[in-house]
Amino acid sequence: MEILGLQNKVHDEARQGEAFAPFLEDMNQYKKHFYIESYGCQMNFNDSEIVASILNKEGFGATRNVENADLIFLNTCSVREKAEQAVRKRLTEFKKLKVAKPGLLIGVLGCMAERLKAKFLEEEKLVDIVVGPDAYRSLPGLIEEAETGQKAVNVLLSREETYADISPIRLDSNGVTAFVSIMRGCNNMCSFCVVPFTRGRERSRDVNSIIAEATNMYERGFKEVTLLGQNVDSYYWIDETTNETVTFAMLLEKVALISTDLRVRFSTSHPKDITDEVIYTIAKYENICNYIHLPVQSGSTRVLQLMNRTYTREWYMAKVNRIKEIIPDCAISADIIAGFCTETEEDHQDTLNIMEFSQYDFSYMFFYSERPGTLAAKRYADDVPLATKKRRLAEIVALQNTLSAKSNQKDIGKTYQVLIEGNSKKSDEYWMGRNSQNKVIVFPKINNDFKKGDYALVKVNSCTQATLMGEIV
């Protein structure tokens, strides 16, 4: 599994207000209300939207104020220890609420719930409900059970569940961009990753339901969809009606054909599975964005073998070359882990070297955090000292900062089509949007002709390490 988004994000109060905007005008029609926070990858955020849909049908309205909630859910991540620590800390903060409101129910969803299972109920006295990623349909019954004072648990994994028939409620939406899940689970047994154990085996969603959801998003005014999966390139569906086999490249094309006005992105790719067919499909359609997240994890073949990544350093470099050969202006980003088991200084230098070779536009970088139950935890000693991990990570971050600045400098003077996503964070007098390469561009509002969701041609005049600045042309 590749980490999607990779920020261990929490919905703060400001984001909650935006997230639940569609419900606020109808707040009084609900007798009970739920509050949900999501941590970790974009798949978790998408799952929260599925949970919201299920709860809404059961008569629960959303609230942005946790004190008004009758039901609190934390949708959790187990990819890194820091994410789990954040959840435990948040649960302790709910203690006063539960004392003041005895009927309040608190539930833990997602990967952390799956990993800790019933042990969670024993350790965390605040938790009433524990639900794994494949068991959200059982929430109504679990809530009823918890309301009687019983602890409610369902962490059964499924080989079929994709939630294809559930229309997600867009909790974390700007009304312009949306995520569409195309598959669940992962068959790649990367030794450092807990996801195959918390999200189960890989299964692809019905292609017709994906197209229907993406079409519905477009008809409702959304201008960009991101196709989500632990490894989207291994998407594989057989249409029983037509007996047509649909690969990821074919799915990409089908979504792109919904409308030339609808942008298409995807995340995440495993380097071993992204094919020439996928790359050529991206090149063929202007509305499929020229951006590929291609996690490398390490630049050392020896370490990659320990990680069970199933490719070598040289193979990965050849894939980068192939992408740039077919799509010359394609942006590439990566996930990088510093200090994996037995990593030497030579291995670390190999990682820095492959970053230089690949010229990543940006990366998601972490030092290794051993996760209980993974193959690495069972087979290898976590023997790189923490101080060494942090120093190597700092060197990786410094290099990526240089590469990002260099990449942005090259964009000065160029003109891009930018999808306006909303106001700039720093000023309402500026728009913020992204180009095809997934780079954020900020530019002044020169007239009233543009609005959120519009495309604008923007010339880049300057940049920072993280942002391009320009003007409408």
For 114-131, the DSSP string reads HHHTHHHHHH-TT--EEE
CATH no. for residue 434?
2.40.50.140
pLDDT of residue 9 exceeding 50, the answer is: no
345 assigned to some structural domain: no
Q: What is the pLDDT of residue 7?
A: 30
Q: 136, 154, 172 — which closes off a domain?
A: 154
Q: Is 242 helix (H, G, I), strand (E, B) or coil?
A: coil
DSSP sequence for 326-379:
HSTT-EEEEEEEES-TT--HHHHHHHHHHHHHHT-SEEEEEE----TTSHHHHH
Q: What pLDDT sits at residue 21? A: 35
Joined together, the tokens standing for residue 242 give: 């037509």
Compute the distance between CA of residue 422 and CA of residue 445 in angstroms, rounded to an integer: 11
Which of 4-8, 105-109, 178-182, 224-228 has the least mean pLDDT? 4-8
Q: Find, among 407, 415, 392, 393, the residue nearest to 461 by Cα.
A: 415
Lowest mean pLDDT among 63-72, 92-101, 225-234, 269-278: 92-101
- Please state the rounded mean pLDDT for residues 265-278: 95
User: 113 in a domain, yes or no?
Assistant: yes
The proportion of the chain whose per-residue pLDDT surpasses 70, expressed as a percent, equals 92
- Which of 154, 178, 206 terminates a domain? The answer is 154
- Residue-wise pLDDT tens digits, 276-290: 999 999 999 999 999
How far are the Cα atoms of 238, 304, 321, 442 from residue 380, in angstroms, in the given order?
A: 39, 14, 33, 46
* 125 lies in some domain: yes
In a domain, 460, yes or no: yes
Model confidence pLDDT, tens digit, residues 89-115: 888 888 788 888 888 999 999 988 888
405 to each of 177, 290, 398, 436, how far by Cα in Å?
Answer: 26, 19, 11, 18
Q: pLDDT for 383-414, tens place per residue?
A: 999 999 999 999 999 999 999 999 999 999 99
What is the number of structural domains in the chain? 2
CATH of residue 40's domain is 3.40.50.12160
Whether 233 maps to a domain, the answer reads no
User: Residue 52 is part of which domain span?
Assistant: 13-154
- The encoded tokens of residue 453 equal 């969701």
Nearest to 206 by CA among 259, 251, 157: 251
Residue 170 lies in a domain: no
The last residue of a domain, from among 121, 139, 154: 154
Indicate the DSSP class of residue 312.
-
Which stretches within 20-116 are classed as H helix? 21-24, 42-57, 81-93, 95-100, 110-116
Crossing angle for the helix pair 276-284 and 248-256, nearest 10 degrees?
Answer: 10
If one counts every other C-beta atom within 10 angstroms of the C-beta of residue 136, the result is: 23
